């Protein structure tokens, strides 16, 4: 069975046709529970998210700040497995029709087996993977299997990436390019910063792929700011924090739906 990279491409193209940025939401699998995470994905799509990244919880999430680390810890203590991640992708995609990617560090895939992981993700209806710590020069095996199964390979670029390095990364990727707005870990911030706009400009000079910005966006004002220069706005920690701060799961689900609605308005006010 082929994955849904074309659905991802269509969602990004549709947002561009509407003269706006796409809203991309991140939520970890297994948080607060496996079923709760599936419901959370449904709610952010209902609120206005175009695309969803499902995080594969990891015990050493080097790119993630304390909010997502806390959620990952809850998921891992709850016993979340890769099978649960695949179930989350499958049920969320079937319920929403939205493109669903998995964001994961490389070690779990390497241990699970690249062919097994890509085949199962495609069978679940996944659109691809975001791989923040997989070096492009070591990605050939992954890309071979991802291409075979119709999955996007999304690499991360950062403000310190030199132009030559950007060209190497974007030539190997597919779906979109994940532009980290600043050096550091995920988390909500008061300002996204000028580095993001410069990074998008330099990245676009190397590729026709959409360039989507993440790290630091947490409200409609920031979403509108980023939507003014990027093809997509990626929000993770703000959704996770809304779930963590809620008194119960029902309130958390209502909170992420409401936040998605505010952010969806933001990306339309570029």
Peptide bond preceding 47 in cis form (omega within 30 of 0): no
> Is residue 64 annotated as part of the catalytic site, yes or no?
yes
Scanning the chain, the segments in alpha helix (DSSP H) are 5-17, 34-47, 66-77, 82-96, 106-112, 114-123, 140-148, 163-172, 194-204, 220-227, 237-245, 249-267
Active-site residue (options: 39, 43, 50, 64): 64
Distances from the Cα of 114 to the Cαs of 101, 110, 117, 120, 246, in angstroms?
A: 16, 6, 5, 10, 37
Catalytic residue among 53, 72, 84, 231: 53
- Collapsed DSSP state (helix, strand, coil) of residue 206: coil
C-alpha of 261 from chain center: 18
Phi, psi (5° rounding) for residue 26?
A: -115, 130
53 is catalytic: yes
Catalytic residue numbers, as ranges: 53, 64
């Amino acid at each position: 069975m082929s994955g849904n990279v074309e659905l991802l491409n269509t969602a990004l193209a549709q947002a561009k046709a509407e003269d706006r940025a796409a809203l991309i939401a991140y939520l970890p699998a297994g948080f607060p529970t496996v079923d709760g995470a599936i419901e959370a994905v449904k709610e952010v799509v209902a609120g206005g998210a175009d695309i969803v990244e499902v995080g594969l919880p990891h015990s050493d999430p080097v790119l993630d700040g304390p909010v997502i680390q806390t959620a990952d810890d809850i998921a891992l203590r709850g016993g979340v497995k890769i099978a649960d991640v695949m179930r989350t992708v499958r049920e969320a995609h079937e319920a929403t029709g939205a493109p669903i990617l998995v964001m994961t560090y490389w070690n779990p895939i390497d241990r699970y087996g690249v062919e097994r992981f890509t085949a199962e993700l495609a069978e679940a209806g996944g659109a691809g993977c975001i791989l923040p710590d997989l070096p492009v020069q070591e990605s050939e095996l992954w890309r071979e299997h991802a291409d075979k199964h119709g999955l996007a390979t999304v690499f991360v670029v950062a403000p310190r990436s030199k132009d030559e390095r950007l060209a190497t990364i974007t030539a190997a990727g597919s779906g979109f390019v994940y532009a980290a707005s600043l050096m550091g870990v995920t988390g909500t911030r008061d300002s996204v910063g000028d580095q993001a706009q410069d990074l998008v400009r330099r990245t676009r000079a190397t590729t026709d792929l959409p360039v989507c910005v993440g790290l630091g966006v947490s409200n409609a004002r920031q979403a509108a700011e980023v939507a003014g220069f990027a093809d997509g706005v990626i929000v993770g920690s703000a959704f996770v924090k809304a779930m963590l701060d809620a008194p119960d799961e029902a309130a958390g689900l209502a909170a992420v739906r409401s936040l998605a609605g505010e952010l969806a308005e933001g990306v339309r006010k570029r």
